Amino acid sequence: MKKLFLTLMALAATMSINAQMIKIMKGDQIVAKYRVPNGGKVVFEEAPPITGSVYAKGPDCEIGWVQLWLDGPKFAVCNIGAANNAPEDNGGYYTWGGKNKNGNGIEFFDDHNETNNGSKNLSDTDDTATYLWGDNWRMPTKEEFEALVNNENCTCTWTDNYNGTGVTGLLCAGKEGTAFSSNSVFLPAAGHCDHGGILLKGVAGFYWSSVPNGIYYAYDLHFNSGLQEDLSSSRSMCFPVRAVLKEAYVTNGNEH
């Protein structure tokens, strides 16, 4: 990361005797002030990217990602399996740790992870996102989903018509007045899959986390028009997966 060090002594002609006042401006408005003693340094650092794109496993498959708050996870812009990487597309439905996308109108066959002892998060290729999209990606943790919907880090609201597509779901946007205010992530209310049939589509959303709850259950994010909460569901349930970018792969928005 590039750093530019400015020695305040070189600016002595414009300094007060004891300190230099640094003002951070947004347009004509002062948004912050900092007092730096004589002999101190002002350090300008290149800000890390808050949006970008990284290749997923497979040819010509570049997935965008978005960050909604400082030090927050970098969510993929679409569900795994979404057609044309469209945010409004439901994508595939997977059991917890499952590898196979559901078929349309046919019997659903998949594996769900029963080998985990209930105390360890999914990782490596046991993680659906890592297996299907490659080492750049992983499933969110329970804590990351909780941080997403607690309304302190960003603002999540139900919408009946995302971006004019008529798709219902949860739209989470960066807080006003922050560097993330123009960023947003949309989670379709995709429902869940049961033997090839889709239930509660347009009514509710269920998204797997990587965190187990006992031997046969795992935590998931559940939302509808009136609530957003963590649930624990059987690992054999078939839910969408929204991946997050692994931090090791963030380098100015490109694969590292």
| Cβ-contact 207, 186 below 8 angstroms | no
Give me the amino acid identity at 181: S
% pLDDT > 90, the chain: 59
Q: How far, in Å, CA of 219 to CA of 39, rounded? A: 52
* Confidence tier at 20 by pLDDT (50, 70, 90): confident
Nearest to 88 by CA among 8, 195, 30, 171: 171
Interatomic CA distance for residues 129 and 99, integer angstroms: 9
pLDDT tens across 35-51, in order?
Answer: 778 777 777 665 678 99
CB 134 within 8 A of CB 127: no
**pLDDT the model gives residue 250:** 47
pLDDT one-digit tens code per residue, 160-217: 999 999 999 999 999 999 999 999 999 999 999 987 789 999 999 999 999 999 888 9
**3-class SS string, 106-145:** CCCCCCCCCCCCCCCCCCHHHCHHHHHHCCCEECCCHHHH
Residues near 113 by beta carbon (within 8 Å), at least 6 away in sequence = 95, 96, 97, 98, 122, 126, 235
Q: Which pLDDT tens digit goes with each residue over 218-238?
A: 999 999 999 898 899 999 999
Yes or no: say if 153 and 168 are a contact pair by the CB < 8 Å rule: no
Higher pLDDT, 114 or 104: 114
Q: What is the pLDDT of residue 256?
A: 37
Pairwise pLDDT comparison (157 vs 30), residue with the higher score? 157
Query: Would you call 67 exposed, middle or buried from its count of C-beta atoms within 10 A (0-12, 13-18, 19+)?
Result: buried
170 and 154 Cβ atoms separated by less than 8 Å: no
